[in-house]
Amino acid sequence: MMARPYNFSAGPAAMPEEVLQSAARDMLNWQGSGMSVMEMSHRGKEFTSICETAERDLRELLAVPDSFAILFMQGGGLAENAIVPLNLGQGGVMDFVLTGSWSEKSHQEAARYGSARIAASGQAQAFCAIPAPSTWQISSNAQYVHVCSNETIHGVEFDELPDLQALGSAAPLVVDFSSHVASRSLQWSRVGLAFGGAQKNLGPAGLTLVVVRKDLLGRALPICPSAFNYQLVAQNNSMYNTPPTYAIYMAGLTFQWLKSQGGVAALEARNLAKARLLYSCIDGSQLYTNPVDPSVRSRMNVPFFLRDEKGQAIADPSHPRNTAFLEGARAAGLLQLKGHKSVGGMRASLYNAMPLEGVQALVDYMREFEREV
Amino acid sequence: MMARPYNFSAGPAAMPEEVLQSAARDMLNWQGSGMSVMEMSHRGKEFTSICETAERDLRELLAVPDSFAILFMQGGGLAENAIVPLNLGQGGVMDFVLTGSWSEKSHQEAARYGSARIAASGQAQAFCAIPAPSTWQISSNAQYVHVCSNETIHGVEFDELPDLQALGSAAPLVVDFSSHVASRSLQWSRVGLAFGGAQKNLGPAGLTLVVVRKDLLGRALPICPSAFNYQLVAQNNSMYNTPPTYAIYMAGLTFQWLKSQGGVAALEARNLAKARLLYSCIDGSQLYTNPVDPSVRSRMNVPFFLRDEKGQAIADPSHPRNTAFLEGARAAGLLQLKGHKSVGGMRASLYNAMPLEGVQALVDYMREFEREV
């Protein structure tokens, strides 16, 4: 059998081959139950055990303290942009740090539910840098402060989460870690709530992970839909409404795979090596360019541009040099490298399931393409 | 290989064996793409084609007119209980016909977003009957009238959708068809919006289907989350946020299977035969009983009770006769027959994927159990 191609999709993204093999094997009969996981009542003992194991493994993997609840929900990060202010905003002031498309969207959506303010913005630097926390204008009455710890589209990442207490604020920190979770360790002592879609580092699309400090439960506005009320979801062990059972199962298999790889510390070391390999290829070339300040470059999402004959970065996806690059990549077994439509160029996403060999194959191809162009 | 057991779960529920086999076969490499469907960008050509085919097949299968939009969403029926009033209620009067647990929940949730009124209720008949439409008190200013066309828990079903125009109302009819969709034909001329989770007749949990008349789009309240704004979802072909890609794929395979079975007309005939077989077994026995008025008995969900020595229906799931019945059923390859916790007793769900042979096996077992008890 031919080796599988390397898949650099920004999400839904590559999953570990072992996880897919296990799912295929058990598709018609999970562990002798006579049922596919898809066919199980979410209240039956089989699925209950799958869900509890997944939550326990995730808690261990991410070192989530007992003072936090883990919720399995639906709707993705975009839905959480409304669900978070509905649950935590109390109709008051909410502060946002804008570092790219995702935090901008979060800010816009929250304005439906209270006073959404901008504490800091990297827009003037075209989101190629992150304003230093010491410069943030945090409202004294902020119900929470929102950051996106890794911007999937702009490719910028907080190397360290801000310490709001050290900045003189008692507001809880809300972290959108959709494209970041489980790629590196996380300082829970600085976090009030973290949320993210599973479809990047943790599993398939259709599952949203919410990790919330238990003392923040019970603050939902009356207009918060019951199905998205964190307290109700927590009280019902994520079974308030029918959960996305198969997505939870696949995420659970992925958690077990992540543990088998040595856990988050080992993955972080591997992710760092993968990112260094690709950025050093880009920085060492005349053809490729990445505009992000090296101190905040994302390890997960690496947007880059090819230059034209005059040395200008080419955003247009239909430029012949871009189409030639993508066609050659596909022929070399390197898939889904096209950049996000709002930015153009290329993007390689290097989530947990991407092996170092995949990045090496990409770098080899990029060097060969540069020699021949 | 041993035959698969018959799975009577109320949802998530049995899926066609051919669909599961196809999914297992393509898990690591969908049609030579080198990717699992779970690994595909939702914006790539592969997944776009999967999604478009699924929508087209569903439109054909359900005979949905072009004047309706088909939306693939998340959150299930429980989330729609909030999403419908947020999109159609306009903060005004909404009428509900209560026929069981699900319509009761819909009514309660809608009260967050306007004036939720009860047009009729079967509660006085313990939800064993449905009030005749001619007796409904429809508000003259109702933004919509909500019915649940099949109550999964109480096992009652509208044999025909109400004709609101004939009742003198211009309000659109909202139909919760979660446990009904594709089990029988549907008169779209009477419908404004229909919604349902996929996890009963159409696929796995994690996908919600919404079919909405296009002239009803654009009425959402400002507090409606963007991710659940029908107009935005429709304008973006269900890709406003990352959709539950694998659940859409599985539903799409199920749509193809349903078409291969002869479509909804053939399925309806089969579902009628299945229901008749089981109800006639219950009605012909001294041991089993179903309390629902025969004119509104559900073809999809058949709750029934065993009687004790005194002839009383036994709700308590821990009663020895109930546990013996369930243990024997499991040994006979008949799974997930335990009734809903709010009702007790037993429940057999006979969705599209349940073959007549499965119901025959259940009936055979029930008769044998009755002889031996």
Helix axes B245-260 and B17-25, enclosed angle (nearest 10): 130
Q: How confident is the prediction for chain A on average, in pLDDT?
A: 97
pLDDT digits (tens, 9 = 90+) for A281-324: 999 999 999 999 999 999 999 999 999 999 999 999 999 999 99
Q: Kind of pairing, strands A142-148 and A150-151?
A: unpaired
DSSP-assigned states of every residue in A274-292: HHHHHHHHHHT-SSEE--S
Query: How buried is residue B274: exposed, middle or buried, by Cβ count under 10 Å (0-12/13-18/19+)?
Result: buried
Low-confidence ranges of chain B (pLDDT < 70): 1-2
Nearest to B28 among A4, A40, A79 (CB): A4
Would you tell me which residues 107-146 of chain B have a C-beta closer than 8 angstroms to some C-beta of chain A? Answer: 109, 112-113
Give phi and psi for B297, each to the nearest 5: -65, 140
Q: How many CA atoms lie within 13 A of A96 on its CB side?
A: 28
Give chain A's radius of gyration (CA, Å): 21
Q: Kind of pairing, strands A313-314 and A301-307?
A: antiparallel
Active site residues of A: 102, 176, 200
Largest CA distance in chain A: 64
Interchain contact, A79 vs B228, CB within 8 Å: yes
Q: Chain centroid to CA B206: how far?
A: 13
d(CA B239, CA B71): 9
Helices (H), chain B: 17-25, 45-62, 76-84, 101-110, 230-235, 245-260, 263-283, 320-331, 356-372
A-B C-beta contacts closer than 8 Å: 223
Q: Report the residue of A35, A201, A327 to disrupt the B interface, i.e. the one with the largest count of B CBs within 10 Å.
A: A35
| Nearest chain B Cα distance for residue A83, angstroms | 8
Contact of B38 with chain A, judged by CB distance below 8 Å, is answered with: yes
| Coil, helix or strand at residue B206 | coil
CATH of B17-260, picked from 3.40.50.10170, 3.30.1330.30, 3.40.640.10, 3.40.50.2000, is 3.40.640.10
Q: Chain centroid to CA A119: how far?
A: 22
Do residues B208 and B196 make contact, with C-beta atoms less than 8 angstroms apart? yes
Interchain contact, A242 vs B197, CB within 8 Å: yes
In this prediction, residue A3 carries a pLDDT of 73
pLDDT digits (tens, 9 = 90+) for A65-90: 999 999 999 999 999 999 999 999 99
In this prediction, residue A2 carries a pLDDT of 53
Q: Round to the nearest angstrom and report the end-to-end CA distance of chain B.
A: 32
Residue ranges per domain, chain A? 17-260, 263-372
Interchain contact, B76 vs A242, CB within 8 Å: yes
Closest to A211 in 3D by CA, of A141, A132, A149: A149
Q: Which residues of B are less than 8 Å from A223 in CB distance?
A: 112-113, 223
Active site residues of B: 102, 176, 200
Interchain contact, A11 vs B41, CB within 8 Å: yes
| Coil, helix or strand at residue B142 | strand
Do residues B214 and B69 make contact, with C-beta atoms less than 8 angstroms apart? yes
Do residues A245 and A47 make contact, with C-beta atoms less than 8 angstroms apart? yes
Nearest to A75 among B24, B43, B227 (CB): B227
Q: ipTM of the predicted structure?
A: 0.96
Interchain contact, B74 vs A78, CB within 8 Å: no
d(CA B298, CA B16): 21
Contact of A233 with chain B, judged by CB distance below 8 Å, is answered with: no
Going by C-beta distance under 8 Å and a sequence separation of 6 or more, which residues neighbour residue A202?
A181, A182, A196, A209, A251, A254, A255
Do residues A127 and A156 make contact, with C-beta atoms less than 8 angstroms apart? yes
AA letter at A8: F
Buried b (16+ CB within 10 A) or exposed e, B334-343: bbbbbbbeeb
| Coil, helix or strand at residue B96 | strand
d(CA B316, CA B232): 47
Closest to B244 in 3D by CA, of B70, B108, B74: B74
* A115: β partners: A93
d(CA B171, CA B138): 9
Mean pLDDT, to the nearest integer, of A225-248?
97
In this prediction, residue A1 carries a pLDDT of 42
Matching residue, tokens 């569903």? B58
- Element at B116 (helix H, strand E): strand B115-121
Contact of A251 with chain B, judged by CB distance below 8 Å, is answered with: no
Contact of A339 with chain B, judged by CB distance below 8 Å, is answered with: no
Torsion from C-alpha of A44, A50, A55, A57, nearest 10 degrees: 160
Interchain contact, A44 vs B9, CB within 8 Å: yes
Q: What is B263-372's CATH number? A: 3.90.1150.10
Give chain B's radius of gyration (CA, Å): 21
d(CA A280, CA A283): 5
d(CA A117, CA A119): 6
Closest to A136 in 3D by CA, of A96, A186, A78: A96
Q: Which residues of A are less than 8 Å from B20 in CB distance?
A: 27-28, 36, 38
Do residues B153 and B342 make contact, with C-beta atoms less than 8 angstroms apart? yes
| Coil, helix or strand at residue B84 | helix
Interchain contact, B44 vs A76, CB within 8 Å: no
* B157: β partners: B150
Nearest to B75 among A4, A29, A241 (CB): A241
Q: How many CB atoms lie within 10 A of CB A35?
A: 27
Would you tell me which residues 190-229 of chain B have a C-beta closer than 8 angstroms to some C-beta of chain A? Answer: 197, 199, 204-207, 222-223, 225-228
pLDDT digits (tens, 9 = 90+) for A119-172: 999 999 999 999 999 999 999 999 999 999 999 999 999 999 999 999 999 999
Instruction: State which residue of chain A sits closest to B91, comparing Cα positions.
Output: A223
Q: How many CB atoms lie within 10 A of CB A181?
A: 29
d(CA A261, CA A271): 12
Mean pLDDT, to the nearest integer, of A16-21?
96
Mean pLDDT, to the nearest integer, of A212-223?
98
pLDDT digits (tens, 9 = 90+) for B248-275: 999 999 999 999 999 999 999 999 999 9
Do residues B42 and B241 make contact, with C-beta atoms less than 8 angstroms apart? no
d(CA A136, CA A116): 15
Interchain contact, B207 vs A206, CB within 8 Å: yes
Q: Chain centroid to CA B207: how far?
A: 12
- Element at B197 (helix H, strand E): strand B193-197
- Element at B306 (helix H, strand E): strand B301-307
Nearest to B225 among A77, A82, A204 (CB): A82
Contact of B35 with chain A, judged by CB distance below 8 Å, is answered with: yes
Q: Report the residue of B41, B48, B228, B239 to disrupt the A interface, i.e. the one with the largest count of A CBs within 10 Å.
A: B41
Query: How buried is residue B89: exposed, middle or buried, by Cβ count under 10 Å (0-12/13-18/19+)?
Result: buried
